[in-house]
Chain A
Amino acid sequence: MKVNYFISDIFYVCLRDLKHYLKQRVRIMATLIQPIIWLVLIGNLMSGLTANPLTLKFLDAPSYLDFMAPGVMVMTTLFTGLFAGVRVVWDRRLEILQKMLSTPLSRTAIPLGKIAAAVVQGNIQVIIVLLTALMLGVTFKTGLAGIMVILIFISLFCSIMASISIALSVNIRNMETFFALMNFITMPLMLTSKAMFPVEAMPGWLKFIAEWNPISYAVIPLRTLVTKGWDWTVIWQSLIILCFFALCFLAGAVFFFKRARA
């Protein structure tokens, strides 16, 4: 009975955020168009620039577009995940959080429900990126089964990012601060990862950061699935590492949310 209620609490929190998401037409349009711009503009441009045997060896992929598509999926997830905290800041401003807390609704269910909503959004957006990539001629070496595995990786990565966002949002009282903080985090995180550029082309210090960057753990298995095939060592290794991180960050998000003053 108790477990039942806990799950339904998570469900209601998640449902509420998802309904809100689906109502924001402009935001959805923007998030749909953005990866298309990345792929069509940067992807095609760089494909032209890198269409020589030497750079293709760096990329270790059929083309820059194939190389970049997994990166764009992870970037899209990164932004969606890091957006999750916005809803906490809003709910607090509108006193909805106080109302939620004054009911029997489980306090743990609130961050978990919001993270679940972010994961669903991340999957929706990545599916759009996948379709765009397919239309642009990216071939998925592992086919439909590979795409399923990609979505598992995306879900894990999204929950990590959403957890970070929620943990950071609990003590923030206004939107501007929140966005400034998120901008501050995303750019360096993105540029020091293996998402956009091959690690072989990086200077030593950057290579070192990229190895440890959490984004890399999501990009590498995705790239393997798209451009190479079923390399189980890479897949299992990243899966275990991401699962471990996801659990730690989820626990962290719940901890910080519960510890917050409100």
Chain B
Amino acid sequence: MEVLQLKNVTLTINDNHILHNINIDFWNGYVHAVSGPNGAGKSTLASTIMGLEGYREIQGDIIYQGENINDRSVDERARLGITMAWQDPARYEGLTIKDFLMASAKIKNEDNIRDVLASLSMNPQQYLKRALDKTLSGGERKKIELASILVNEARLVLLDEPDSGIDVESLERIFESIRLLKKRGTTVILITHSLAVLQQADHAFLMCSGEIIDKGEKEKIVKYFENKCIPCPHKNIPDEWEPAVGK
């Protein structure tokens, strides 16, 4: 059964089709990956599903658990069980990490928050009291963002490049969290152009220039990576353009 369906979704900004006629079924309880080169429209797809400001005026339909949610606002979608970890987490300044996670949690329980931090190889002792500000490293902020998703206990989780800025050891912990989410029955949508993250998925979609150009078992999509080939003509680059250096 699919938990989320996009039907002929087109998003036009300034006459550009950032998303073009997207049709996707995300099956319930699966880990999905959406992959593709820079600028393919992956983050835009996530923002559209979450219903962020500027991404609400779409053509087509977004169906969540059988209900059309086109007109639902971000917080309404959040209440229906959709949540998202940003590619570049907002500088949510002013709270301590503990308060931030408490505010993000569905069940406000400090032990729970400690467990989640520990599971991302962050020592709760060291981090809970720290301010959520620019003194945190990029990777730490990414992990706190992920922690806020884990305590949220949503039904559908969008993770936009969960691996960016993350070290090898922590990446393994993040993969464990993804497996944990799956075990809880959460549907996960991974947005990535990393082979390692793609390997975590059950099923994958390949995106290019705002279109879904292939889908299937992850092995099938992995092949594109191995061949280092982008199968569609790059619409972003005009035909007549040639790099000066190569001549």
The chain A residues found within 8 Å of chain B, CB to CB, are 5, 8-9, 12-13, 15-17, 19-20, 92, 94-96, 98-105, 107, 261-262
Q: Which of A16, A92, A101 contacts B78 (CB 8 A)?
A: A101
Interfacial chain B residues near A19, Cβ < 8 Å: 94-95
Q: Which residues of A contact B86 (CB under 8 A)?
A: 95, 99
Q: Quick check: A8 and B84 within 8 Å, CB to CB?
A: no
Q: Are A17 and B105 in contact (CB under 8 A)?
A: no
> CA separation between A9 and B75, bound complex, in Å?
14
Chain A residues, Cβ within 8 Å of B84: 102
A103 touches B90 (CB 8 A): no
B92 partner residues in chain A, CB cutoff 8 A: 96, 99
Kindly identify, within residues 51 to 110 of chain B, every residue whose CB is under 8 Å from any CB belonging to chain A.
52-53, 56, 73-75, 77-79, 82-84, 86, 89-95, 99, 102-106, 108
Q: What residues on B are CB-neighbors of A261 within 8 Å?
A: 53, 56, 73
Interface residues of B in 95-131 (CB under 8 A from A): 95, 99, 102-106, 108
Q: Are B56 and A104 in contact (CB under 8 A)?
A: no
User: Cβ of B53: which chain A residues have Cβ within 8 Å of it?
Assistant: 92, 98, 261-262
- CB pair B50–A102 under 8 Å, yes or no, is yes
* Residues of chain B within 8 A of A92, CB atoms compared: 53
- Cα A39 to Cα B231 in complex, Å, equals 74
Q: How many residues of B contact A (CB 8 A)?
A: 30
- Contact of A104 with B90 in the complex, beta carbons under 8 Å: no
Chain B residues whose CB sits within 8 angstroms of the CB of A99 once the complex forms: 86, 89-90, 92
Output the nearest chain A residue to B82 by Cβ-Cβ distance.
A102
Closest chain A residue to B81 by CB distance?
A104
Alpha-carbon gap, A99 to B92, bound state (A): 8
Contact between B106 and A104 (Cβ–Cβ < 8 Å)? yes
Expressed in whole angstroms, the Cα–Cα distance for A12 and B152 within the complex equals 16
Residues of A within 8 A of B82 (CB): 102
User: How many Å lie between the Cα of A121 and that of B222 in the bound state?
Assistant: 56
* Across-interface contacts of A20 in B (CB, < 8 A): 93-94
Report the 9 A-B pairs with minimum CB-CB distance, sorted nearest first: A16-B94, A12-B103, A262-B53, A101-B74, A101-B75, A103-B104, A95-B90, A107-B75, A99-B90
